[in-house]
Amino acid sequence: MIGRILASVAALAMAPPLAAQSEPLRPDQQAFVGLMKGLVGIDTSLPDGSCTRAGRYMADRMKAAGFTDDELTLFATDANPEEGGLVAVLPGSAPQAKPILLIAHIDVVAAKRADWERDPFVMVEEDGYYYARGIADTKALATIWADTLMRYRQAGEQPKRTLKLALTCGEETNGAFNGAEWLAANKRELIDAEFALNEGGGGATDGKGTVVEQAVQVGEKTFATFLLETRNPGGHSSVPRPDNAIYQLVHALVKLEGHEFPLEFTETTRAYFLQAGSGRNDDMGKAMVALANDPSDKAAEALVNTDPFLHSNLRTTCVATMLDAGHARNALAQRAGAYVNCRIFPGHSIESIRDELAAVIADPGVGFTILPPKRPSPPTPPLDPRVIDPMRELAAKYWPGVPFVTQMANGYTDATFLGAVGIPTYGVPGMWGDPDGNGAHGLDERMEVRSVQVGRDYLYELVRRFAD
């Protein structure tokens, strides 16, 4: 659901761009592109697409690469037959070593052909980019993970650690059947792992082909939506009453607008502010470092808060996103409602944020409902050097001189469900995106060819370091 959002990336220290890949693709790269084209060509959006079909496609390709039926588990439920997925297992040679889980969602945001310059479900290469719905979010990553396991099997190699792959549906549609959630609740042993590698990290460019940062995502906020409602008997609009449902709701929203949740740090966000701030040569960078060293520095906080990403990275945020009220133009509203979306800082429950908002509004006539689905609030994964250091060392090899940072996401991913059952999940570095977001969730979604191909090499080498 989320791409990695960066704060003022153009101000970060820059490194020379990677050499353009002008030579023909290697045979292994050609096979990888073919696998990715096939996955992209399957519409996996709701309600008309099929993740189940995409899972079968990937299973068939992995079986052709040497995987056996007992190493491939296709899953779906009777209630959601087209929202299934695939779990693949490459057994390791050291059974005492806990497995590693590679996860990616294969569902995508809907794309209307009439709105796109190109067919969204036909991957094409133009001007150094792959264009297709889901190429950035996250079918390129899904293909890299499957390709990684296939390369092991085709080479006749066996990793020491068991490698597991989960391709799931439901991340992009709040309230839909979610494969990662279902696996965590019903097939925990199938995906059990010491840690998982997921979307959420990655690199950023200056928009001109220069990679300026690589990041690993360590932790994310909890997603929650509340429905605020006011009600009264209403009446004829020619006789206004003081107890107006719309005005009562507006007064509540004004109070919510004026409420600022307190500044907080996790181990990850403090490290990010120190790392990213030190790499900047401006007042914002100095303020980031000062705030990380002294959270009570109000002058530093005031400056940092002027950047929307950094402001949100420091606290819980709640914002009204939708309104509905009334039943007729010539009648007093009997009901008014507002949807308030909160992104909750780690360590706080959804109920505690609801209670805080209710105390701020201080009006018993405003009802609060926690809307389903209610997401878990897992702890932030540790900054485990056994996980972070190999990422950092390889990033220095692939992108010498480029800052490497640890970062918490302001949004959420399927890591929510894995973390809740005790599988720490990290968003990997590797592929990079442009400052405009590469069209993810929008029109003409794309990824730079170099980003996908170099990212593939980086992630393959990273998995080998962890597994071998």
In a domain, 106, yes or no: yes
**Where on the phi/psi map is residue 79: left (φ > 0), alpha (ψ -120 to 50), or beta?**
alpha
Mean pLDDT of 298-315: 98
In a domain, 2, yes or no: no
Say yes or no to pLDDT of 259 above 80: yes
Q: Are residues 261 and 306 in the same domain?
A: yes
- Tens digit of pLDDT for each residue in 385-416? 999 999 999 999 999 999 999 999 999 899 99
Q: Are residues 31 and 151 in the same domain?
A: yes
Say yes or no to pLDDT of 275 above 70: yes
Q: Are residues 85 and 230 in the same domain?
A: no
Say yes or no to pLDDT of 16 above 70: no
In a domain, 94, yes or no: yes
Say yes or no to pLDDT of 1 above 50: no
In a domain, 4, yes or no: no
Say yes or no to pLDDT of 9 above 90: no
Instruction: Give pLDDT, residue 175.
Output: 84
Q: Are residues 333 and 242 in the same domain?
A: yes
In this structure, are residues 158 and 392 in contact, taking their beta carbons and an 8 Å threshold? no
Q: Are residues 216 and 156 in the same domain?
A: yes
Instruction: Give pLDDT, residue 347.
Output: 94
- What confidence tier does 245 reach under pLDDT thresholds 50, 70, 90? very high
Q: Are residues 405 and 325 in the same domain?
A: no
In a domain, 1, yes or no: no
- Tens digit of pLDDT for each residue in 317-340? 999 999 999 999 999 999 999 999
- Tens digit of pLDDT for each residue in 136-153? 999 999 999 999 999 999
Mean pLDDT value across the chain? 94
Say yes or no to pLDDT of 17 above 80: no
Among the candidates 370, 390, 419, a domain finishes at 370
In a domain, 3, yes or no: no
In a domain, 104, yes or no: yes
State the residue range of the domain holding 439: 9-220+379-467
Q: Are residues 54 and 154 in the same domain?
A: yes
Among the candidates 370, 400, 426, a domain finishes at 370
Number of domains in the chain: 2
Mention every residue, 6+ apart, whose C-beta is less than 8 A from residue 172: 1, 45, 46, 105, 107, 108, 109, 137
Mean pLDDT of 460-467: 98
Q: Are residues 428 and 355 in the same domain?
A: no
Say yes or no to pLDDT of 4 above 90: no
In a domain, 295, yes or no: yes
Say yes or no to pLDDT of 11 above 50: no
CATH of the domain at 78: 3.40.630.10
Mean pLDDT of 200-213: 94
- Tens digit of pLDDT for each residue in 81-114? 999 999 999 999 998 999 999 999 999 999 999 9
Q: Are residues 113 and 237 in the same domain?
A: no
Q: Are residues 214 and 229 in the same domain?
A: no
CATH of the domain at 231: 3.30.70.360
- What confidence tier does 10 reach under pLDDT thresholds 50, 70, 90? very low
Among the candidates 370, 405, 420, a domain finishes at 370
Q: Are residues 209 and 232 in the same domain?
A: no
- Tens digit of pLDDT for each residue in 46-70? 999 999 999 999 999 999 999 999 9
Say yes or no to pLDDT of 19 above 70: no
Q: Are residues 55 and 124 in the same domain?
A: yes
Instruction: Give pLDDT, residue 368.
Output: 96
Instruction: Give pLDDT, residue 22.
Output: 52
Instruction: Give pLDDT, residue 3.
Output: 41
